[in-house]
Amino acid sequence: MTKKPTLGVLALQGAVREHLQMIERCGARGIPVKYPPELHLCQGLIIPGGESTTMGRLMTTYGFLEEIRALVGEGMPIYGTCAGMIMMARRLVEGDQPLLGLMDITVRRNAYGRQVDSFEADIPLRDIDEAERPFRAVFIRAPWIESVGPGVRVLGEFDGRAVLAVQDRMLVSAFHPELTGDDRIHRYFLRLVEERVAG
């Protein structure tokens, strides 16, 4: 029997518990990550939803940016939801804040408007699973992906905008699968982690 992979959830602020529950449901081990050295216990990392400005500042204060960049550079899989996606982008359409700058995408913050414009909708997924059932996606003051570089594959769109994308072993979603009972996207990420662990 293979050992369960350990997935870390960056636990500075935001929807940490929901991701940890999803990870356990998918049969992996989930740990909250509060300090950079804990990153080395993880085979994969999730940056949760929260406030990206808050998270960016806390990540800078405690030296997470360099540490995560180095580990992802060595091939550690990483998944960012909503604020996590903003953190992983190389470019923002407007505003400047500390970013990890990992993925070749340009992101627009609060792209759909304020909270009264937050919504849920069924979106079709590409390459996530064989069933190809639509995914009930929850968008909360959500960003969208304005443009992608050549290495990025778009796996989900809403209203003509990319909202789920992958590049190598980096995955981002503008919406929150952790708030639904649907674990297909987390299972997809876990496969990226298992591929990497298998070498």
Partner 1 sequence: MVEKGTLRVKTGLAEMLKGGVIMDVTTPEQAKIAEEAGAVAVMALERVPADIRAAGGVARMADPSVIEAIMEAVTIPVMAKVRIGHFVEAQILEALGVDYIDESEVLTPADEKHHIDKWRFTVPFVCGAINLGEALRRIGEGAAMIRTKGEAGTGNVVEAVRHMRTINEEIRRLTVTPKEELMSVAKEMGAPYDLVCWVAENGRLPVVNFSAGGIATPADAALMMQLGADGVFVGSGIFKSEDPAARARAIVLATTHYNDPKILAEVSRGLGKAMVGKEISEIGRENLIQFRGW
Q: Which of 104, 188, 192, 177 is nearest to 140 (CA)?
A: 177
Catalytic (active-site) positions: 82, 176, 178
* Among positions 6, 21, 106, 110, the unique one binding partner 1 when judged by CB under 8 A: 110
Instruction: State which of positions 52-81 bind partner 1 (CB under 8 A).
Output: 53-54, 57-58, 61
E strands, 36-173, in order: 44-47, 78-81, 89-92, 103-108, 119-123, 135-139, 144-148, 153-158, 161-167, 170-173
Q: Which of 59, 55, 23 is nearest to 39 (CA)?
A: 59
Cβ proximity to partner 1, 158 vs 188, nearer residue: 158
* Among positions 27, 63, 75, 95, the unique one binding partner 1 when judged by CB under 8 A: 95
Task: Say if CB 24 and CB 9 are below 8 A apart.
Answer: no
Cβ proximity to partner 1, 12 vs 46, nearer residue: 12
Q: Which of 85, 103, 81, 105 is nearest to 93 (CA)?
A: 105
Smallest gap from residue 32 Cβ to partner 1 (A): 10
Q: What's the full length of the chain, in residues?
A: 199
Smallest gap from residue 141 Cβ to partner 1 (A): 7
CA distances from residue 3 to 23, 45, 178 in whole angstroms, order as listed: 15, 17, 24
Is residue 51 near partner 1 by the rule CB under 8 A?
A: yes
* Among positions 24, 66, 122, 127, the unique one binding partner 1 when judged by CB under 8 A: 122
Smallest gap from residue 150 Cβ to partner 1 (A): 30
As a whole number of angstroms, the distance between CA 26 and CA 33 comes to 19
Instruction: State which of positions 165-194 bind partner 1 (CB under 8 A).
Output: 176, 179-180
Write out the residues near partner 1 by the rule CB under 8 A: 11-18, 34, 49-51, 53-54, 57-58, 61, 82-83, 95, 109-110, 113-122, 138-141, 176, 179-180
